[in-house]
Structure 1
């Protein structure tokens, strides 16, 4: 099992990144909340990971801290929630906000996430409530520096939302609704996700 990776970040195309570890490139799927905290390309990155083997694929998921990895592990234990949906949930809502929704029984907020219907939201609340009793809020993540090309940022942000399960038209509308002037793709994604979930 691969529990942790440390290497150089060489590619970043949400929700997938590539980390070079001594000449070996690892493809890692990360939630947007982790992507927001990644350093620029060419710099060292350290991720907590979860390796999942299926009949048709071997997938490596990465997280900025061990708490996020534990939340992912808890999510995939929920009946009907696979790794892709867990990644989408963690991308669409901050971990502390998700825990708050579960503890408060706020299924309406969870239903706004792509791929989460009323039954799935209720199941998440019912099955996750006990697992998250000891959850303590973390400090807020720091923002990343802006990337120069505005049009490239818009396209990357739209592609990331589509990869997370939003319809292309919905993703384009959400990104265009944001003030894209000087914002990085990560900032655009974060703002669009926040507007769609709230």
Structure 2
């Protein structure tokens, strides 16, 4: 329904740790948008105009807006929450822990150890995310012109070992 919101940054609140909520005034209406801590740190001062790409989530008891710095980040979030066991908060946590390219690389290459660095993601969840999204994200990254090198089999395990050792 909404692609992005562009307006004045009124403020950022940290009601819950690691869940910053910014208030964005667009044409006299204040929208509360939950963003990643990384985006919250990069925001300019208040009363500055910003653009935030958003995803609208309808719940039984309320409407939630999740905000992202770029359209590909928002689109990756939408892909992540399609995986079983991954809700909006876990999707935001994954995007907070890893940069977009690193997250794509970890999923496409099946690097469960990197995915498991995210709070709330254990080995089984990391395996499920990679299994369910590997093919879809591999195709999506090509359409979005994002470079990710896919590794599989023994090469992927060696890559994981080297990354964890470093």
Normalised-by-shorter TM-score class: 0.7 to 0.9
Matching residue of 1:147: none
In the alignment, structure 1 residue 8 sits paired with structure 2 residue 13: no
TM-superposed deviation, 1:137: 4.2
Aligned to 1:27, the other structure's residue is in SS state strand
Structure 2: runs of 5 or more not aligned = 15-19, 149-165
In the alignment, structure 1 residue 112 sits paired with structure 2 residue 109: no
Greater RCO, CA 8 A, separation 6+: 1
In the alignment, structure 1 residue 127 sits paired with structure 2 residue 132: yes
2:52 & 2:63 partners in 1: Cα distance? 18
TM-score (normalizing by structure 2): 0.78
Matching residue of 1:151: none
Matching residue of 2:105: 100
1:76 counterpart (74, 78, 81)? 81
Aligned to 1:114, the other structure's residue is in SS state coil
Structure 1: runs of 5 or more not aligned = 139-197
TM-superposed deviation, 1:12: 1.4
Alpha-carbon RMSD? 1.8
TM-superposed deviation, 1:89: 0.9
Matching residue of 2:157: none
1:15-164 to 2 correspondences below 5 Å: 15-134=20-139, 135=141, 136-137=146-147
Aligned to 2:42, the other structure's residue is in SS state coil
- Greater share of residues in strand: 2
> After TM superposition, what 4+ stretches of structure 1 lie above 4 angstroms from structure 2?
none
1:6 & 1:56 partners in 2: Cα distance? 26
2:102 & 2:37 partners in 1: Cα distance? 14
Q: Is the 8 A contact 2:13 2:21 kept in 1?
A: yes
1:162-177 to 2 correspondences below 5 Å: none
TM-score (normalizing by structure 1): 0.66
